[in-house]
Chain A
Amino acid sequence: MNSGGVGKRLTIAPYTLWMSVFVVVPIALVIYYAFTDGHGRLTLENMKSIADYGKTFFMSIKLALFSTAICLLAAYPVAYGISRFEARRQQTTIMLVMLPMWMNFLIRTYAWMTILEGNGLINRLVRAFGGEGFSIINTNGAVVLGMVYNFLPYMILPIYTVLTKIDKSTIEAAQDLGANKASIFRRVLLPMSVPGIISGITMVFVPAVSTFVISKLLGGGKTFLIGDIIENYFLGNTGSVDYNIGAALSLVLMALILISTTVMNHFDKDMGEGGGGIVG
Chain B
Amino acid sequence: MKFLSRLYTFLVFGFLYAPIAVMVVYSFNSEKSRTNFGTFSLRWYIELFSDSVILKSLYISLVVAVLSALIATVIGTFAAVGIDGMKGAMKKAYLTVNNIPVVNPDIVTAISMMVLFVFFITRINGLNMGFGTLLIAHITFNIPYVILSVLPKLRGMDSNIYHAALDLGCPPTKSFIKVVIPEILPGIITGFIMAFTLSLDDFVISYFNSGSTAQTLPVTIYSMTKRPYSPKINALSTLLFISVMLLLVVVNARQSAGEKRGSDKRKGVR
Give A contacts to B, CB under 8 Å: 1-4, 7-9, 11-12, 14-16, 18-19, 21-27, 29-30, 33, 74, 77-78, 80-82, 91-93, 95-100, 102-108, 110-115, 117, 119-121, 124, 149, 152-153, 206-207, 209-210, 212-213, 217, 227, 230-231, 234-235, 243, 246-247, 250, 253-254, 257-258, 261
Instruction: Decide: B35 and A121 in contact? CB cutoff 8 A.
Output: yes
Contact of B112 (CB < 8 Å), options: A15, A26, A81, A209: A26
Q: Give the residue name and chain of the B residue nearest to A7 (CB).
A: B172
Chain B's interface: helix, strand, loop or mixed, by majority? helix
Instruction: Decide: B81 and A11 in contact? CB cutoff 8 A.
Output: yes
* Residue total for B at the interface (Cβ-Cβ under 8 A): 83
Instruction: Decide: A29 and B116 in contact? CB cutoff 8 A.
Output: yes
B123 CB, nearest partner CB in chain A, Å: 13
Instruction: Decide: B225 and A257 in contact? CB cutoff 8 A.
Output: no
Q: A104-B221, A210-B107, A230-B111 are in contact. List 16 more A-B contacts (CB 8 A).
A: A3-B159, A3-B172, A23-B97, A24-B97, A29-B115, A91-B252, A91-B256, A95-B248, A100-B16, A110-B221, A114-B22, A114-B34, A114-B229, A153-B16, A212-B107, A250-B111
A6 CB, nearest partner CB in chain B, Å: 10
Interface presence of B82 (CB below 8 A): yes
Give B contacts to A, CB under 8 Å: 5-6, 8-9, 12-13, 15-20, 22-23, 26, 34-35, 75-76, 78-79, 81-86, 97-98, 100-101, 103-108, 111-116, 118-119, 136-137, 139-140, 143, 154-155, 157-159, 162, 172, 176, 180, 197, 201, 203-204, 207-208, 217-218, 221-222, 225, 229, 233, 236-237, 240-241, 244-245, 247-249, 252, 256
A124 to B35 alpha-carbon distance, docked (Å): 8
Contact of A1 (CB < 8 Å), options: B84, B201, B225: B84
* Among B76, B112, B252: residue with most chain A CB under 10 A: B112
Instruction: Decide: A8 and B81 in contact? CB cutoff 8 A.
Output: yes
Residues of B within 8 A of A207 (CB): 105-106
Check A14/B106 contact, CB under 8 A, given A26-B112, A30-B112, A107-B23. Answer: no
Check A14/B78 contact, CB under 8 A, given A4-B85, A234-B114, A257-B103. Answer: yes
A107 CB, nearest partner CB in chain B, Å: 5
Residues of B within 8 A of A153 (CB): 16
Residues of A within 8 A of B140 (CB): 18-19, 22-23
